[in-house]
Amino acid sequence: MGVGDVSKRILLGRKLRSSQLGETLLPKRVALPVFASDALSSVAYAPDEIFIMLSLAGATTYAWSWKVGLAVAVVMAAVIASYRQTVHAYPSGGGDYEVAKVNLGERAGMTVGAALLVDYVLTVAVSISSGAQYAAAAIPALSGHEATFAVGLVLALTAMNLRGVRESGTFFAIPTYAFMAGILVMCGVGMFQLVTGHLGTVETADLQVIPSSGYEQELTTIGLIFLLARAFSSGCAALTGVEAISNGVPAFRRPKSRNAASTLLLLGLIAITMMLSVITLAHQMGLRYVDPHHLDRLRLADGSPVPADYDQHTVIAQLARAIFDGFSPGFYFVVVVTGVVLVLAANTAFNGFPVLGSILAKDGYAPRALGSRGDRLAYSNGIVFLAVMAIVLIWVFDAEVTRLIQLYIVGVFISFTLSQLGMIRHWTRHLEKVKDPAERHRMQRSRLINTIGLGFTGTVLVVVLITKFLAGAWITLLAMGVFIAIMFRIRRHYQRVSDELAADDQDKVLPTRVHAVVLVSKLHKPTLRALAFAKATRPNVLEAIYVSTDVGEADGLLAEWDQRGIDVPLKVLYSPYRELVRPVVEYASEIRAANPRGVVAVYIPEYVVGHWWEQLLHNQTALRLKGRLLFTPGVMVTSVPYQLRSSAAALERKTRSAKRAKAGDVRRGAPSAPDRRGYRQVD
């Protein structure tokens, strides 16, 4: 086993057989943190975005915060109820993509697929960037290096997910459950203090908020509606990640659909409870919160600006400090687990993106490499591709959450809306075939749920497009368009290749003759072996060719050829410009042109070496020549290997590795590896 293999095993663990796929399936207790960490972690920034938008008109509009939060909660409940119907109807894991493709057509499927791919990449970028900002606030040394730190976090998550879904899920379960416990306990204590009249105020309660430019005057009805719409659209970031469960149904244990639906219900109850509690407590405790890039809009109680080095803590941090006043461990626990879960929220995308990519690859809309499972039965190529895309996005936007958030949720609500429309058509089509009253009643109820979901998600999509288009949503739409164009081209390419490779009667026709050509560089053992192998194939014509760049060397080779009495004719191709590849290609093309129904078989002697650096010293011309000949119609290329002595070293390393005891040998009853004297241990 080489150094690369050892490093790979250390990072990823031992290989898993395909038959062990069932061992990687997730129980509900692990599936919840794996697929729901993104939606749950949105509690850490969705309330912040609502208060930021409302602050544009001053602190008085904070009175609408709980109503905006309630509207977001209603939409979330409708979406989760709709997706519970989806996981039962389409348990194969295609989720929104499969629903749209089957019920709305190929173009709708590609649109949803592109929207989800973009959303998954943004999920990683936003979550990791947010976690990096938390880390920079806690560790001053990271300030100004958030993007570099975020890239490191992406690489760490990539390595964890390459080890397999179950292993990464078990690792991420503890911090996710700790986050849920911390937020729920904090909100529970805060609500108890509110009921008993002992609820304190947050650190920003005494500050004043100056309205943003354009909002200095009293808001008109239309202005207020537009402001609330902006706050609502920002708060809908809480819904991102909900669709991941419908895409990841195959990763659940049996019964897959029922377990996925139960996980969805649990996700909705927890996320809605936490979000509404945080928003209500923040309003009751006098929170004042503005865009971190516009802290100049905050004023102290006497009307003077806040200090230049003023640090505005996040909403959850302010709540935790006030609720756990006098109990610092509670405050630090909430802040730490919140920062950790923001990083781990990206794990939802690391599980959803590869599965979706594999389905797209199976349907011919993505490179087939995305459909291949790695050593740990995870879709490794999809994981790596997602990591690369997220790193590029983080680096371009310098890990600034405020800039990235504007690109967010557009794609996911496009997929939400098309999915609900597809589910309505699904139930309508099936209702035409079902006659049982009980079954028809169940389908009609499901269709009503999806109709309500369509109304909500369609409305949110319109609001998001209106309020966020110029703020950056257009970039998301442009990225979706690029993905759709790429998927269309890939699909067309695979279809064209499939049509081209379809077998017909002409493929049974044998070539009229085989003209074999053996390349000669000098008369040595590799050349003689290639000549012997070419003779064994019994071609119609067999000849050796030598490309001459020096007349003296060519004459010497011809003399030695005659002296040895080799019964294969040697033809010399003179190359006045010292080219070695072009004369061979042109000669093979001329033979093919003279007999279009024949085949030209070119035999190339090659050295087999035992060290990587020896490969740089040999076979370079052979590699170039094969690359050119492969593009020549009617020419077949055959490599005739000759093992140099150094190749024995590589064979010895491979044999030594095969004899070495491996993990699980004793359990499987395999014989132990021999000791230095060559003896094996006998039990």
Averaged confidence pLDDT in the chain: 82
Q: Domains of the chain, with CATH numbers?
A: 18-494 (1.20.1740.10), 507-659 (3.40.50)
pTM for the whole structure: 0.70
DSSP class per residue in 529-579: HHHHHHHHT--SEEEEEEEES-HHHHHHHHHHHHHHT-SS-EEEEE-TT--
φ, ψ for residue 572, nearest 5 deg: -100, 125
Complete DSSP assignment for 85-97: HHHHH-TTS-HHH
Q: How far apart are CA 37 and CA 127, in angstroms?
A: 10
Q: Which residues contact 309 (CB under 8 A, 6 or more apart)?
A: none
Give rounded-to-5 percent helix, strand, coil for the chain.
70, 5, 25
- Specify the DSSP class assigned to residue 473: I
Residue 645 has pLDDT above 90, yes or no: no
- Name the pairing type of β-strands 208-209 and 298-299: antiparallel
Check whether 8 has a pLDDT greater than 50: no
CB 34 within 8 A of CB 168: yes
Q: Which residue has the tokens 């087999």?
A: 608
To 10 degrees, what angle do helices 346-362 and 28-41 make?
110
SS (H, E, C) 398-431: CCCHHHHHCCCCHHHHHHHHHHHHHHHHHHHHHH
| pLDDT at site 667 | 46
Number of Cα atoms under 13 Å in the Cβ half of residue 251: 31
pLDDT recorded at residue 642: 86
Q: What is the pLDDT of residue 658?
A: 54
Q: Please, which residues have CB within 8 angstroms of residue 386's CB and are 6 or more apart in sequence?
A: 120, 121, 124, 349, 350, 353, 354
For residue 669, the tally of other CB atoms under 10 A from its CB is 7
- As a whole number of angstroms, the distance between CA 341 and CA 347 comes to 10
Estimate to the nearest angstrom the gap between the alpha carbon of 153 and the chain centroid: 15
pLDDT band at 646 (very low <50, low <70, confident <90, very high): confident
Exposed e or buried b per residue across 1-12, where buried means at least 16 C-beta atoms within 10 angstroms of its C-beta: eeeeeeeeeeeb
Q: What is the pLDDT of residue 666?
A: 46
pLDDT value at residue 19: 42
Q: What is the dihedral of CA 536, 542, 547, 550, to 10 degrees?
A: 100
Per DSSP, the three-state class of 306 is coil
pLDDT at 673: 46
pLDDT band at 543 (very low <50, low <70, confident <90, very high): very high
- Tens of pLDDT, residue by residue over 46-75, are 888 899 989 988 888 899 999 999 999 998
Q: How far apart are CA 337 and CA 463, in angstroms?
A: 33
pLDDT above 90: residue 348? no
Q: Report the distance separating Cα 613 and Cα 428, nearest Å.
A: 66
